[in-house]
Structure 1
Amino acid sequence: MTEVADSPWIRAMPAVFVLIWSTGFIVARYGMPHAPPMTFLAWRYALSIACFVVWIAWARVPWPRGRSQWGHLAVTGVLMHAGYLGGVWAAVKAGMGAGLSSLIVGLQPVLTAVWLSATGGRVSTRQWLGLALGFVGLVLVVSHKFGAGGPGDTATPLNLAFAVGALLAITAGTLYQKRYLAPCDVRTANTVQLAAALAVTLPLAWLETEPMHWNAESAGAMAWSVLGLTLGGSSLLYLLIQRGAAASVSSLMYLVPPCTAAIAWLLFGEPITATTLAGTALTAAGVAIVVHAGRSR
């Protein structure tokens, strides 16, 4: 490991990413009642692009070189922004509760490991153990949310399709980025990815008939979506994928529901039960095993 890789900031990146990414469901809780999903996401992508362009111009960072690199960035943008976020928001809007949607998307580490094993990648026995522990912990953490979303909190073929589509999109995007993308500046890379996501999402937003209502809650949700989740969280995810093994990075997603539960407890007073604490401990142990096993090889 180099001196740069051992810096406190680099070591803190996974924890900061999990903390930021965990606020996604909080943002949905604030913003979803006031906007249709694709319209909200189209605004989010457009405003994020504007922020990145200003940042790029101020910092004078180079753009990616070569058409192939731009093409690879566009593919990952469609998968990891339009596909993943669009699928999750559409599933929740179609009546799926946060617990079930978290559980389905939380299958990403397992799906990533299965793909790596099937294609000759190395996933050790210790990592499989960590993935299994993490998933059991995830089930415990989100179990109290099943059926807690009201009369509309049901699984239907439509919202299940949206959620599974989101799972497949972020898994494919993570694997694709790790395999095909050469390292480049995270700000220009994210801008290209977001532009591709906007190109896919905008036509879908035009088909939505529900208007977007701007108020304090929707504006606050949009501001954090742009500044925190996209400029912060998505940039960190890009850097983590570039620096780490796919299985280890994906395992961090197991920590998102426990962290979300803690934030919901602080903001909304949602109870944290003994089952939640036990699930959090199992999840943390599972992720620690996966990450440590990946570094020791």
Structure 2
Amino acid sequence: MSLPAGWLRSMPVVFVLIWSTGFIVARYGMPQAPPFKFLAIRFGLAVLCFGVWARLARAAWPVGRAQWAHLAVTGVLMHAGYLGGVWAAVKLGMGAGLVALLVGLQPVLTAVWVASRGGQVAPRQWAGLALGFGGLALVVWQKLGHGEVGSHNLALALFALASITVGTLYQKRYLEPCAVPTANCVQNLAALLATLPLALALALESEAVRWNADFVGAMAWSVLVLTLGGSSLLYLMIQRGAATAVTSLLYLVPPTTALMAWGLFAEPITVFTLAGTALTAFGVALVVRPPATTKRSTP
């Protein structure tokens, strides 16, 4: 599937804006449902939406058991593992700022893995990753409270970090290009099958779902915008770009989320937030900027 050049250039900006609303939605939805029950409903609705999209677009389904299996693995890692770890960690008392900081380590892990496998990570990109992490830490450090970290929620946050990192690398390595609606349909189905038993069995899920306006609004945004929009863009960008460059965009999510929280909930914006946002943006620019080409001199 070919896309216009202008749309390709705007994809990272749109992705960051969409992905940044994840913690905003959690603020609305978390009090209304336990994490895995919320996610199980979200994945189920996403399967229906992507199925309808695939039918209307007459999109081709993946060919061969191997591609179905690879899609299932990435669905479990990048949807069930990542979102389940983040939401459960927040439910057990970890602040959203600390979760964002830990998951924000993903670009560093990705770059280290690429380098260890013989990939080319330029010194400029390492500098950009360091600046990005520094800016990220500067934005969220003031949100880190005392006594909010325990062995259980820390393990869940680190599990989310590992899931999104491994899932991104796995998708780039093993998945062949597939139609967006059918690929996401398979991924969300695998995530649903992995999440549903947890929603039915865990003591963490003892609360009932409150079917009110906040829950319906959070669920609608999660399915229609975050899953159909954000996950589709992430899938496309991983297929079309280098893993290190794509994951470095996640450095921009916590600062953008802070700006959204300021506009929606009047959460204070400090000089540290502004400085960290600028530093992070500059670091990401260093990572994603294509290498300079050497021009041949004219005789």
Kept after mapping to 2: 8 A contact 1:245/1:294: no
Correspondences of 1:147-296 after superposition (within 5 Å): 147=145, 154-207=148-201, 208-293=205-290
Read off the aligned partner of 2:18 and give its amino acid letter.
I
Within the candidate set 32, 47, 70, 1:49 is matched to: 47
Q: Distance in 1 between matches of 2:37 and 2:121?
A: 39
Taking structure 1 as reference, are residues 91 and 295 closer, same or farther at Cα in structure 2, changes over 3 Å only? farther
How far residue 296 of structure 1 moved from its aligned partner, in angstroms, is: 6.3
State the SS of the aligned residue for 2:289.
helix
Q: Distance in 2 between matches of 1:169 and 1:157?
A: 18
How far residue 54 of structure 1 moved from its aligned partner, in angstroms, is: 1.1
Read off the aligned partner of 1:73 and give its amino acid letter.
L
How far residue 144 of structure 1 moved from its aligned partner, in angstroms, is: 2.1
Kept after mapping to 2: 8 A contact 1:248/1:294: no
Q: Distance in 1 between matches of 2:40 and 2:293?
A: 42
Read off the aligned partner of 2:57 and give its amino acid letter.
A
State the SS of the aligned residue for 1:31.
helix
TM-score by length of 2: 0.94
Larger Rg, first or second structure (1 or 2): 2
Q: Distance in 1 between matches of 2:290 and 2:10?
A: 19
- Residue in 2 aligned with 1:93? 91
Q: Distance in 1 between matches of 2:151 and 2:183?
A: 35
Q: Distance in 2 between matches of 1:86 and 1:154?
A: 18
Taking structure 1 as reference, are residues 54 and 6 closer, same or farther at Cα in structure 2, changes over 3 Å only? closer
Q: Distance in 2 between matches of 1:296 and 1:267?
A: 44
Count of matched residue pairs = 290
Taking structure 1 as reference, are residues 58 and 271 closer, same or farther at Cα in structure 2, changes over 3 Å only? same
Measured on the aligned residues, the alpha-carbon RMSD in Å equals: 1.4
Q: Distance in 1 between matches of 2:170 and 2:291?
A: 19
- Residue in 2 aligned with 1:145? 143
Q: Deviations over 1:139-161 (max 9, x none)?
A: 011122112xxx8x600000000
Q: Distance in 2 between matches of 1:278 and 1:136?
A: 10
Q: Distance in 1 between matches of 2:217 and 2:3?
A: 35
- Residue in 2 aligned with 1:77? 75
Taking structure 1 as reference, are residues 90 and 292 closer, same or farther at Cα in structure 2, changes over 3 Å only? same
Read off the aligned partner of 1:125 and give its amino acid letter.
P
State the SS of the aligned residue for 2:176.
coil
How far residue 197 of structure 1 moved from its aligned partner, in angstroms, is: 0.5
- Residue in 2 aligned with 1:135? 133
Kept after mapping to 2: 8 A contact 1:136/1:279: yes
Read off the aligned partner of 2:162 and give its amino acid letter.
L
Q: Distance in 2 between matches of 1:232 and 1:111?
A: 25
Does 2:5 align with 1:7? yes
State the SS of the aligned residue for 2:37.
helix
Q: Deviations over 1:101-151 (max 9, x none)?
A: 00000000000011111111111111000000000000011122112xxx8
Is 130-139 or 204-213 further displaced after alignment? 204-213
Gapped regions of structure 2 (runs ≥ 5): 295-299
Identical amino acids, percent of aligned pairs: 68
State the SS of the aligned residue for 1:212.
coil
How far residue 99 of structure 1 moved from its aligned partner, in angstroms, is: 1.0
Q: Deviations over 1:4-50 (max 9, x none)?
A: 56611110000000000000000100000111000000000000111
Read off the aligned partner of 1:191 and give its amino acid letter.
C
Taking structure 1 as reference, are residues 256 and 205 closer, same or farther at Cα in structure 2, changes over 3 Å only? same
Kept after mapping to 2: 8 A contact 1:100/1:142: yes
Read off the aligned partner of 1:231 and give its amino acid letter.
L
